[in-house]
Amino acid sequence: MTVVHVETGMHLYGGALQVLMLLRGLAASPGRHVLVCPAGSEIAEAAQGVADRVVAMPVRGDLDVAFGARLYRVLREEDADLVHLHSRRGADVIGGIAARLAGVPAVLSRRVDNPERRWWVALKYRLYAHVITISEGIREVLLAEGLAPERVTCVRSAVDTQTYRPGGDRAWFRREFGLADDEVAVGMAAQFIPRKGHRVLVAAAPAVLAAHPRTRFLLFGRGPEEAAIRSLVHEQGLGDRFVFAGFRTDMAHIFPCLDVLAHPAYMEGLGVTLLQAAACGVPVVGAEAGGIPEAVADGITGYLVPPGDSTALAERVGRLLGDLALRETMGAAGRQHVDARFSVTAMTVLNRRVYERVLGVGSG
């Protein structure tokens, strides 16, 4: 079985990181796995020696017909049995058309829960033999838009629990981000875009600080809303309580040092950063939106709050900050939750099972 994987992300996080973990898992089973990715992308380098072949090529967006032609040639060169389209940008429609022209069945991974128009779903998804969603929440969105249940399978994203684990260096953490010994840290790791809910956390901050004045809020990530959120923080007089930490590649060292992770997103496919934090033993307070309820077991590994409800967010975060034993209990439960439901092995096996189902073959 020869599978061509298409991932168009430039940076090695999110979907691209999931693809790399999948390729590592698949390397232990029979078959040939080829990666098509953008020239200069981080996964192009990281996948060397993991995939059987890495083909790096220009990818210029959703309407890059030349990319489709190049992908078509790779499919023919490899005599591919199946193509797995892991990305939306530049890959889902153009990739599906290239696969159709090459006579190769396509599997699409869907990582976001934003709805699409029913007419577009009916047209676009004809290109794919099967669709994999990273959460049941996304699967329900597609079913509501008219896809047949037998054409959609949930295979949850995975977390490398050997990399993300409890036991961070808190002395380094406090030096790195300028925290005093008596301060507690509430983190949020998300792209600065409206649907991630940074404004909800800023709105919740005064109530949290009223009860726990030695709290610092650390915001990790970057994005178009960052300047607006910085301005909002300063308008609220909270500049000394917030740290804009930027995009970090060492979150596996940072997460274990947080006291609470907040994620008040309005929409979320699953929330891998929530799972990474939970694997590090950190309780999570997330909004009850998209796939977040699959990542956070309410009252067990953290809390769920209504989307946009800054009062509820402040209450739950404050409850955790005021109770070290509760944080430790929920953190340990979070680690167990991730180990049981979000392993790399399970993700690999279930993806391969979809391939075999599409091709009508058995294991081995």
Domain ranges of the chain: 2-158+343-359, 170-341
Q: What was the pLDDT predicted at 118?
A: 87
How many alpha carbons lie under 13 Å from residue 51 in its C-beta half-sphere?
A: 25
Q: What was the pLDDT predicted at 362?
A: 66
- Decide: helix, strand or coil at residue 298: strand
Cα 58 to Cα 7: distance, rounded to the nearest angstrom: 12
Percent of the chain at pLDDT > 90 equals 87
Burial of residue 108 (number of CB atoms within 10 Å: 0-12, 13-18, 19+): buried
Query: What mean pLDDT do residues 156-176 have?
Result: 95
Q: Is 90 exceeded by the pLDDT of residue 360? A: yes
pLDDT digits (tens, 9 = 90+) for 244-259: 999 999 999 999 999 9
Q: Is 60 exceeded by the pLDDT of residue 185? A: yes
State the greatest distance between any 2 C-alpha atoms of the chain, in Å, as a whole number: 64
Contacts of 307 (CB under 8 A, 6+ apart): 197, 200, 264, 265, 266, 287, 288, 289
Q: Is 90 exceeded by the pLDDT of residue 224? A: yes
Query: What mean pLDDT do residues 151-162 have?
Result: 94
Q: What was the pLDDT predicted at 20?
A: 96
Homologous superfamily of the 2-158+343-359 domain (CATH): Glycogen Phosphorylase B; (3.40.50.2000)
Q: How far is CA 258 from CA 31, 187, 188, in A?
A: 41, 6, 10
Residues 302/277, Cβ–Cβ less than 8 Å: no
Q: Is 90 exceeded by the pLDDT of residue 295? A: yes
Cα 351 to Cα 310: distance, rounded to the nearest angstrom: 38
Q: Is 80 exceeded by the pLDDT of residue 88? A: no
Q: Is 70 exceeded by the pLDDT of residue 158? A: yes
195 φ, ψ (degrees, to nearest 5) = -70, -10
DSSP state for residue 7 in the 8-state scheme: -
- Decide: helix, strand or coil at residue 110: strand
When pLDDT is cut at 50, 70 and 90, the band that residue 14 belongs to is: confident
Cα 84 to Cα 96: distance, rounded to the nearest angstrom: 9
Average pLDDT of every residue of the chain: 95
Q: What was the pLDDT predicted at 239?
A: 96
When pLDDT is cut at 50, 70 and 90, the band that residue 66 belongs to is: very high
What CATH code is assigned to 170-341? 3.40.50.2000
Residues 92/85, Cβ–Cβ less than 8 Å: yes
Two tokens, residue 229: 């959120």
Q: What was the pLDDT predicted at 121?
A: 87
Q: What was the pLDDT predicted at 363?
A: 53
Contacts of 331 (CB under 8 A, 6+ apart): 166, 278, 280, 281, 282, 283
Q: What was the pLDDT predicted at 257?
A: 98
Going through the chain in order, the beta strands assigned E by DSSP cover: 2-6, 32-38, 53-57, 82-85, 106-110, 130-133, 152-154, 184-189, 215-220, 242-246, 260-263, 284-287, 302-305
54 φ, ψ (degrees, to nearest 5) = -115, 125
Q: Is 80 exceeded by the pLDDT of residue 99? A: yes
DSSP state for residue 181 in the 8-state scheme: T
Query: What mean pLDDT do residues 108-131 have?
Result: 90
Query: What mean pLDDT do residues 153-163 have?
Result: 93
Percent of the chain at pLDDT > 70 equals 99
Q: What was the pLDDT predicted at 364?
A: 43
Query: What mean pLDDT do residues 132-142 have?
Result: 92
Residues 111/134, Cβ–Cβ less than 8 Å: yes
Cα 304 to Cα 297: distance, rounded to the nearest angstrom: 8
Burial of residue 212 (number of CB atoms within 10 Å: 0-12, 13-18, 19+): middle
- Decide: helix, strand or coil at residue 62: coil
2-158+343-359 shares its CATH topology with 170-341:
yes
Residues 166/335, Cβ–Cβ less than 8 Å: yes
Query: What mean pLDDT do residues 316-342 have?
Result: 96
**DSSP letter for each residue of 132-169:** EESSHHHHHHHHHTT--GGGEEE------TTTS-S---
Query: What mean pLDDT do residues 106-134 have?
Result: 91
Q: Is 113 left (phi over 0), alpha (psi -120 to 50) or beta?
A: alpha
DSSP state for residue 91 in the 8-state scheme: T
Q: What was the pLDDT predicted at 178?
A: 97
Cα 264 to Cα 190: distance, rounded to the nearest angstrom: 10
